[in-house]
Amino acid sequence: MSPTLHLIYGMAGAGKTTLAKKLERALPAVRLSPDEWISPLLETPNDRPEMDRIRPVIERLQWTLGQRLLSLGTSVILEQGFWARDERLAYLETARLLGATVILHYLDVPKEELARRIEERNKRLPPGSFLVYPGEIATWMTWLTPPDQAELAHYDDYKIYRYEP
């Protein structure tokens, strides 16, 4: 059986970490979370400029580790959001070259629900989480490229988790 790369696509507050932890418990897979690696590196919690500086470095390190794990036959869960189609497809292509199957997990949550969840999370931040400031969700939503049917056809499998009140 080939290893599987699980890509978790979604906005802040969509439930990426919750889903990734659930998959980690249910599967034999290694979960890699950028926020959990960034948090211990910050001298000041929620230092956004420093977070923004080191996030790409951490994501590259995690992907390097993820590729090694896939090449060794170990499944990997990446929960970095994957907001851009080109990024998702690049990970898909690399994983396939390593002999892995790829599953996209798409967390489809409306902006209003994301804002509500973030407001609640900000009141009692779990370890490895950061404050999200009012207005950031609206800005970040403009950066999202949700997968369409043409893209979804590239994956070995995909799951869409739609928010239902």
Closest CA to 159 of 121, 111, 120, 104: 104
Size (the chain), residues: 165
So what's the pLDDT on residue 127? 67
Per-residue pLDDT reduced to its tens digit, 3-35 = 999 999 998 888 899 999 999 999 999 999 998
Distance CA 65, CA 58 (A): 10
Per-residue pLDDT, averaged over 81-92, amounts to 96
Using 50, 70 and 90 to split pLDDT, how confident is the model at 64? Answer: very high
Quote the mean pLDDT of the chain: 90
pTM for the model: 0.90
What are the backbone angles phi and psi of residue 160, rounded to the nearest 5°? -110, 125
**Which residue carries 């900000």 as its tokens?**
122
Number of domains the chain contains: 1
So what's the pLDDT on residue 159? 97
Phi-psi region of 73 (alpha: psi -120 to 50; beta: other; left: phi over 0): left
Between vectors from CA 62 to CA 103 and to CA 89, what angle results, nearest 5°?
A: 40
Provide the domain limits for residue 56.
4-162
Per-residue pLDDT reduced to its tens digit, 33-59 = 998 998 889 888 778 889 889 999 999
CATH code at position 74: 3.40.50.300
Distance CA 108, CA 14 (A): 7
Q: Please tell me whether residue 63 adopts helix, strand or coil conformation.
A: helix
Residue 67 has pLDDT above 90, yes or no: yes
